[in-house]
Amino acid sequence: MHRPVADPKPVVWTIASSDSGGGAGIQADLHTFNALGCHGCSVIAAITAQNSTDVLSTEAVSPAIFIAQLNCLLNDLPPKAIKIGLIPDVQLLQQLVLWLAEHKAKHRFSVIADPVLSSSTGVNFASEQLISNWQQLLPLLDLITPNLPELALLSGMPDAPVASQALLLTQAGAAAVLAKGGHNPDSTDITDCYISDSASFGLTQPRITTANNHGTGCVLSSAIAVACAHGYPLHDALIVGRAYLQQALAQGYPTGKGAGCLQHHSWPIDYRYFPKLHGPGTIPEPLLRFASMAAPIGLYPIVDSVQWLKRLLPLEPDVIQLRIKLGSASEIEQQVAQAVQLSNDYKLRLFINDHWQLAIKYGAYGVHLGQQDLNEADLPAIAAAGLRLGISTHSYAELLRARQLGPSYIALGHIFATQTKQMPSRPQGLQRLVHYAALCRDIPTVAIGGIDMLRLQAVVNCGVDGVAVVSAITAQTDPEHAFVQLKNQFQQYKVESRYAHNA
C-alpha cells in the first residue's frame, strides 16, 4: 500500500532550560514549534525547579552532556533554525559560542536568541561573566530579542534611548535586534523596536492585561524561529511571532497560584492579533477611504495595449487591467485615454497600472500600484477622485503595509514562478496564499503569478476573490478561447469551493 508522502516538517531546536511548571522554557518552546508545524528538538542547558510563583532552584547540566546533545542532533536532525533561551551557566555559554562558531556557517541555520537574564518571577540569572559571554555570542546571532532590562544589561547604556542601545548590539555583531517594549509600564500599547543594518521599524499591538503571561519571551522567540525555519524572511518571521504571541496571550489560562500560561493554538490568521507596522512608507491606521469594488473580482486579465482590450472587452471580463511598460509619455496617455473610453462603452471595470495621474485625469475605475509605486503616488488624490486602489504584496510586511492604507483590493503574488516579470522575491506557494487570504477576510484579494488553467482550482480553493493572469491568456494560441475557459472555470471552482466550505 502506498502512503501519501507528507512534506517533511522543518526541524527547529531549542537550546534552553526546563521549566518544571510547563509554562516557559523548553516546554513552551516545544509547544510553539509543534503548534506552528515544525518538529522540535531540545538541548537542555539546565533544569529549574519552578512553579507558577517561584524558581526554587536551578542546576546546569555538565558541559559533556550539553555538547553531546548538540552533536548527536546535528548528526541526524540538523536544524533549519535554532532558538536559544535560558543558559544560566558561564561554561555552557562559552561552549555554545565555540560550537556555533564551528557549525553555523556550514549548516546555514538561523539563530534566534532570547537572552533570558532574569525570570518574570524576579530571579536574576545575570552575572558579569554571563553578560560578557552573551556579548561574545552576538556575532553568531541572526536576531536577539531582549526585553528592556536585558537590553540595558547587554548594551551597558541603560540611560540611552532604546534605539541607540539596540544599535550598539548590532555594532557588536548581532545581525538584528528586536527590543521588546513590554516592560515599558506607561503604555496601553506595546511597541517592539526592530533594528538591523538595513532596516528599522516598530511593531505595535494593544497590551493584553492578563495574569496569564508566563513564558511570553520564550514563545515569541520560538515562534520567530519557526517562521524562519519555514523560509519566511526575518521581517515576516517577526510579524508571525508577534501575532502568534498575541493570540496565545489572548487565550491564556490560569495554572497555579501565580502567573498562568499562554494557550498554544495554530498559525495566526486573525488580523486582530497582527501588529501595526511603523516605519518608512507605513501609516498606522487607514486615514483614507478608497471606493469599494462593488462586485467580486473574479477572473482578472492583465494586458499591455488597447488592442488587447479591444479583443477581450467584448467577452465581458469581470475586471481588467491595462499594464503598459513601454512607450513615450504621449503614447501612454493616448492608450490610457482610449482604454478608459472603451471600458466606459462596455461598462466594465478597468484598472490602470502605475499611471495614477492619467487614471485620475481620464476617470478610470481604479489604479493598481506596487510597493515602490506607493512611495511616489499621491494616495489622497486617488481617493479624492473616487478611484479604487489595488496594491501588490509579496510578504506579510507588505500585506500589513497595504492593509493599513485601506485599499479596494490586495494582490497576493507571485504565487508560482512567472516568465512575465523579473521578480525580486521568491514564489509564495499555496500554503502562504491560504494564510494571506485568511488574513484579508474583510478585503478582496487577488492571486497573481504563474497561474494557468491547471493551477486555477488550487488557487481558488485558497480563498481568494480573484485571480489575475497575463500569459495564461496573452501567450496562448487562441487567447479569446483561453479567456472564456478560464473565466468559466473560475466561476465553477468558486461555487464548488463555497459549497465545500459550507458542507
Ligand X SMILES: Cc1ncc(COP(=O)(O)OP(=O)(O)O)c(N)n1
* Residue 338 annotated as lining a ligand binding site: no
135: which 3 cell numbers? 556579548
* Residue 395 annotated as lining a ligand binding site: no
The rounded Cα 273 to chain-centroid distance in angstroms is 12
* Residue 251 annotated as lining a ligand binding site: no
Residue 365 three-state SS: coil
Helix (H) / strand (E) element for 470: namely none
* Residue 373 annotated as lining a ligand binding site: yes
Give the residue with the Cβ less far from Mg ion, 73 or 367: 367
Residue count of the chain: 503
389 binds ligand X (CB under 6 A): no
Q: Which of 195, 219, 446, 460 binds ligand X (CB under 6 A)?
A: 446
474 binds ligand X (CB under 6 A): no
Choose among Mg ion, ligand X, ligand 3NM, none what residue 344 binds, the Cβ cut-off being 5 to 8 Å by kind: none
CB-CB contact of 470 with 302 (8 Å): yes
Closest CA to 38 of 212, 179, 237: 237
The whole-angstrom separation of Cα 157 and Cα 164 is 9
CA within 13 Å, CB half, 395: 18
Give the residue with the Cβ less far from Mg ion, 261 or 324: 324
Q: Which of 162, 178, 259, 448 binds ligand X (CB under 6 A)?
A: 448
Choose among Mg ion, ligand X, ligand 3NM, none what residue 321 binds, the Cβ cut-off being 5 to 8 Å by kind: ligand X
Give the residue with the Cβ less far from ligand 3NM, 43 or 467: 467
* Residue 378 annotated as lining a ligand binding site: no
Tell me the window of 77-85, 270-278, 337-345, 373-381 that interacts with Mg ion (CB under 5 A): 373-381
Q: What is the DSSP letter of 272?
A: G
Give the residue with the Cβ less far from ligand X, 274 or 409: 409
* Residue 321 annotated as lining a ligand binding site: yes
> What part of residues 296-325 is at the interface with ligand X (CB under 6 A)?
302, 321, 323
* Residue 322 annotated as lining a ligand binding site: yes
Q: For the CB of residue 466, give the shortest distance to ligand X in the complex, in Å.
A: 8
| 408-447: b (≥16 Cβ within 10 Å) or e | bbbbbbbbbebebeeeeeebbeeebbbbbbbbbeebbbbb
Amino acid at position 60, single letter: A
370 binds ligand X (CB under 6 A): yes
Closest CA to 464 of 446, 484, 479: 446
Percent composition of the chain: helix, strand, coil (DSSP 3-state, to 5): 40, 20, 40
Longest Cα separation, the chain: 80
> What part of residues 409-438 is at the interface with Mg ion (CB under 5 A)?
none
* Residue 494 annotated as lining a ligand binding site: no
CB-CB contact of 409 with 440 (8 Å): no
Amino acid at position 438, single letter: A
Q: For the CB of residue 448, give the shortest distance to ligand 3NM in the complex, in Å.
A: 5
Tell me the window of 44-52, 147-155, 242-250, 367-375 that interacts with ligand X (CB under 6 A): 367-375
Contact set with ligand 3NM (CB under 6 A): 392, 394, 413-414, 418, 420-421, 448-451, 469-472
Applying CB under 6 A, the residues found at the interface with ligand X are 302, 321, 323, 353-354, 368-370, 373, 390, 392, 411, 413, 421, 446, 448, 468
Residues marked as binding?
A: 321-325, 353-354, 373, 392, 418-421, 450, 470-471
